[in-house]
Amino acid sequence: MPTEIFEGYKSNARSLTLMKCVGCDTLHPVIPFDDWDNQLTHEWRVKAQSEAFKGLARESVNRLLGSWAQFNNASITPESMVEVLRHEFCTHGEEEQRQHWMLRCTEHVFMMDEWSVDEYGEVIIPRVQYLFGLITDVERRTALQLAWLRRFPKIQTRCCGELMCFKCKVQGWHAGVTCEERQASEADIETQFCPGCNVPTIRSEGCSSMTCICGAVWEWEGDADNY
């Protein structure tokens, strides 16, 4: 792929995952694109394969690799690949690791609420990033990472470690409340949609100038005197 096209894909993918950190009020991509060049080296890929599949039984690794090939060929959807990852991590592997993951998994749902912040940052994120980093196709990698973020939207910002929800675009992980429940509770609140990312936006006070977490700046339509 020509360099200019590759860089264009990366730029578009980066824009899709931009979020404004509530700690430093700065836009950062959720996906670490700045590590891309390093992840193309042979040494990094050998380490990534070891870390990503650590503790998994050989049968589980073989199933993952088979699904991985299907995903790279676009034979299965990103959402299906995410479910494969969840299933293999939660139900297979060495006994100690399997029990550790099963404590946080049900048959159909990966219970991220039950992970502590330290476990999430030290266990989940490194393994997932190693897995994603093994994908050299920028479109396939971005599609899988976005599918993962929609399925498991709880993130920590890379700059300040702030807890945020990627799906709701809010601070914190709204523990005990699903994204759907949280969004439904705001159904009767007046909202307008950001022209940059189309996220429903609520205005509580201040002037009519709005700055979205995606970085877009726009004007709230309506009577400013009502706020």
Tell me the pLDDT tens digit for each residue of 183-194.
888 777 788 888
Do 19 and 127 have their domain in common? yes
Q: Is 40 within the bounds of a domain?
A: yes
Q: Is 92 within the bounds of a domain?
A: yes
Q: Is 176 exposed, middle or buried (0-12, 13-18, 19+ CB in 10 A)?
A: exposed
Do 63 and 18 have their domain in common? yes
The 10s digit of each residue's pLDDT in 36-91 is: 666 668 888 888 888 888 777 888 889 888 998 999 888 999 999 988 887 776 65
**Domain around 119:** 3-166
φ/ψ of 178, rounded to 5, equals -70, 165
Q: Is 42 within the bounds of a domain?
A: yes
User: How many Cα atoms are found within 13 Å in the side-chain-facing hemisphere of 75?
Assistant: 7
Do 50 and 119 have their domain in common? yes
Do 120 and 195 have their domain in common? no
CA-closest candidate to residue 11, choices 205, 142, 173: 142
Average pLDDT, the chain: 76
- Banded model confidence at residue 34, pLDDT cuts 50, 70, 90: low
User: What is the percent of the chain where pLDDT is above 70?
Assistant: 75
Q: How many structural domains is the chain composed of?
A: 2
The 10s digit of each residue's pLDDT in 129-172 is: 788 888 878 888 888 888 888 888 888 887 888 888 888 888 88
Do 24 and 97 have their domain in common? yes
Q: Is 110 within the bounds of a domain?
A: yes
Q: Is 173 within the bounds of a domain?
A: no
Do 46 and 12 have their domain in common? yes
Do 53 and 149 have their domain in common? yes
Q: What does the block give as tokens for 155?
A: 């993130």
Q: Is 180 within the bounds of a domain?
A: no
Q: Is 109 within the bounds of a domain?
A: yes
Do 156 and 196 have their domain in common? no
Supply the pLDDT for residue 76: 94
The 10s digit of each residue's pLDDT in 174-220 is: 888 888 888 888 777 788 888 888 787 887 667 888 888 777 888 98
Do 140 and 217 have their domain in common? no
Do 161 and 191 have their domain in common? no
